[in-house]
Amino acid sequence: MNLPRLVIAGTHSGVGKTTVTLALLSAFRAQGRQVQPFKVGPDFIDPGHHHLASGRESRNVDGWMLGAVLNRTIFQEAAQDADLSIIEGMMGLFDGSSPIQEIGSTAEIAKQLNASVLLVVDGSAMARSAAAIVYGYAKFDPALHIAGVIFNRIKSDGHYQLLKEAVEKETHVPVVGYIRPDSDLTIPDRHLGLRTVLEGKDSTLYSRLGQAAATTLDLDCIEQLAQASPEWVASLISLRPKRVEPVRKPVRIGVAYDPAFCFYYPDNLALLEQVGGKLVRFSPMQDTKSPDVEVLYLGGGYPEIYASVLQQNTAMRACIREFVRQGGIVYAECGGLMYLSRTLRDFDGKVYDMVGIIPGDAVMSRTHMTLGYRELTLTQSGLLGEKGMRIRGHEFHYSHLENLGDVDYVGRITDVRGKDCRGDGITVNNVVALYTHLHFASHPQVPLALIQTVRDQRKMGAHTS
């Protein structure tokens, strides 16, 4: 099986990996290619931009959360009908969860997928030193293949030719083009990363980026590098949870989706559908009531940016409170947890009323960032599964809870080194709200447990009636 593929990696964070990735996705799409995007690591924002640029849903692969077998499975499922795949890395090529091992890094994913690497280098203030940088990256890990180099933020063809000559003479790694700096083709960012696709005001940005890049990137050479990928050896496992009952009556799941709540792993949503869930999107910002569902899934996002709109929508907040009072099931992550709290205090200190299910106040702080991989060990059986189950995910937030009353947690989280962090998964009635974004594929019994909880409720209701 031939699955052409390339990893887009950088020498460091901020070097322009996303710009290059979006340029390639858009340029190849304009040529009529089916290009499948992927994102290395726990990222919700870049994949949304990938989707608009390529027309195909981007998938996450992650060495720590998922492991080699799951990553290969996710890759093959998504890539098998594509002409080529573009895999955007994270941070620097060799940066991960350990200073001395490759785990959690882009390099680890490149080796798991047996994919060559296009290295993105910011050449704006360099000349021959660029050759030393590329030489070091190419030689650092002999098991990794640096197939080519793309320079970013290059203002003139003369500067590019100088860099190209230096690198190709000293390293024998081909330089396949460059990207010019252009503020009109830049996606603004904020404290959690780029602005999301739901906040974009210029739908032509991706095509314009692709058109600009097509004049300075050797797309034919880049496609040839992807086509030269080693033969893919199929080794699929099933992501589908075990003991799935036949779907007689789907479980309706309301998925909050708007600029305030848009951080979801595609695999989480797909797994819920596979075990009998029917997803219905709604907007806590704009809708006046939740849809007719049995479960609400409140994902992460930017409730702190849209707190005023969320506060003003008193009808929706009252509807969710009533849904919980009547026994409705709610699963919330990070931004969803903040929305369920009593109040939310933004970066400027202004306080907004939220739903009021969680007996605590969410407080934003520019100096209080929480970031890292997490493993949740369930200390009680319930909505997420049986006691003792371990589910992997990550945290990334600038908020914390204050004035928290007595609450129960479904489990405790540890970091990548196994250090105990704290309890997570506040549980109130049939609500579970975590700061950790869980990746369901790390333990696919999670969506099954959630769906089974609804089915058990149905049976109890039928019995009591």
Whether the predicted pLDDT of 187 surpasses 70: no
**For residues 406-417, average pLDDT:** 95
CA 413 to the chain's CA centroid: 20
Q: Which of 337, 387, 308, 375 is nearest to 97 (CA)?
A: 375
When pLDDT is cut at 50, 70 and 90, the band that residue 463 belongs to is very low
- Tens digit of pLDDT for each residue in 4-39? 999 999 999 999 999 999 999 999 999 999 999 999
Q: Which of 152, 255, 191 is nearest to 397 (CA)?
A: 191
Instruction: Delimit the domains of the chain by residue range.
Output: 5-227, 251-464
Catalytic residue among 221, 262, 319, 334: 334
Whether the predicted pLDDT of 201 surpasses 60: no
List phi, psi (to 5°) of 305: -75, -35
334 catalytic per annotation: yes
Angle, nearest 10°, between helix axes 205-214 and 17-30? 90
Domains 5-227 and 251-464 equal at CATH topology level:
yes
251-464 has which CATH code?
3.40.50.880
**For residues 439-449, average pLDDT:** 94
Rounded (5°) CA angle 29-259-289: 125
Res 367: pLDDT:
87
Q: Which CATH architecture has domain 5-227?
A: 3-Layer(aba) Sandwich (3.40)
Amino acid at 116: S
User: Is 232 within 8 Å of 190 (Cβ atoms)?
Assistant: no
Whether the predicted pLDDT of 414 surpasses 50: yes
Whether the predicted pLDDT of 196 surpasses 70: no
Q: Which residues pair with 148 in a beta bridge?
A: 118
Res 1: pLDDT:
81
